[in-house]
Structure formats: C-alpha cells, structure tokens
C-alpha cells in the first residue's frame, strides 16, 4: 500500500532530523560512558604534589635562613622546625586530595545518574512510539468494524424494509 502525502512529507522531514538526533545521542552517550573523574583526580594529584614539593623547598630555605641567624642550625630545634614544616605541608596536601577525591566521586555519581536518566528517557520514548502505533492500529480496526457494521446494518435495514413492504 502506498504511503499518503502526509506520511511521505513526515518521513522526508524525520530522516535528517533523526540522523542528527542519533548523532547527538551517540555523542552524549560516548562522552558520558567514557567520562573518568579519577583521571582528572590523578592529574590534580600530580600537579598538587609538584606544588607540595615547590612549597616544601621554599619553606625549608626560609627556615634554614632564619635558623642560621638564630643559631639553631645544628641543634635539635632546627630538626623539630623542619619536621613541623613537612608535617603541615603534607597535611594540607592530603586534605586537598581528600576534598578533590570527594568531588570526583560526586561527579561520577552525577554522571551515572545522567546516563541512567538518558536510558530511561530512551526507553520511554520507545514505549511512547509503540503505544502510539498500537493506538493507531486499534483505531483503524475499530473504524473498519464500524464501517462493516454500518454496511451490514444498512443492508439488513434495507432488506427488512423490502421484506416488510412485501408482506
């Protein structure tokens, strides 16, 4: 059976639009499923560690310079001061990594939620299309039944009037 003009126009418009929509969906899904927040966290950790090393070097230079003037260079106090600097900087580094780790976990969770919502939306769209098609098929069957009923009713009505007129 040939398609109607409306169906042909719809399909002509739907084809390119559907291809663009499919491309956008593929792009989103590829990006969302390949997203790795831990890779970003690792890059942050490496950069943060380089900053820790730089800061440690600066702090030690400053501490040694002040220790020379104060006469603490070869004393146990200098070692305590250096330990304090290392411990303080290491704690700040660890705190920073812990915060970024939580942020990466939150990003991953939001991403998973987004992919789940995308999947649910795709499933709902598919079911909407199927139910719409089923509604159209049911309406066609009902229309055919009504047409057959009207034709039969007309024939029986006409036959009854003829039979009644003859009798």
CA atoms of 95 and 57, how far apart (whole Å): 20
Q: What is the pLDDT of residues 74-89, one digit of tens each?
A: 777 888 888 999 999 9
Q: Is the dihedral of CA 69, 70, 76, 81 positive or negative?
A: negative
Q: What is the pLDDT of residues 95-137, one digit of tens each?
A: 999 999 888 888 888 888 888 777 777 666 666 776 777 788 8
């Amino acid at each position: 059976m040939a398609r109607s003009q409306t169906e042909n126009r719809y399909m002509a418009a739907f084809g390119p639009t559907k291809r663009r929509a499919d491309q956008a969906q593929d792009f989103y899904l590829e990006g969302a499923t390949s997203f790795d927040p831990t890779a970003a966290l690792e890059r942050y950790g490496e950069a943060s560690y380089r900053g820790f090393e730089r800061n440690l070097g600066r702090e030690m230079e400053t501490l040694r310079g002040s220790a020379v003037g104060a006469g603490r260079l070869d004393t146990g106090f200098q070692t305590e001061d250096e330990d304090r600097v290392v411990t303080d900087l290491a704690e700040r580094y660890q705190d920073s990594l812990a915060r970024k780790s939580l942020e990466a976990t939150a990003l991953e969770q939001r991403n998973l939620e987004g992919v789940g919502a995308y999947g649910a939306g795709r499933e709902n769209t598919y079911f909407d299309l199927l139910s719409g098609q089923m509604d159209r098929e049911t309406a066609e069957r009902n229309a055919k039944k009504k047409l057959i009923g009207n034709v039969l009713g007309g024939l029986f009505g006409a036959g009854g009037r003829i039979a009644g007129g003859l009798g």
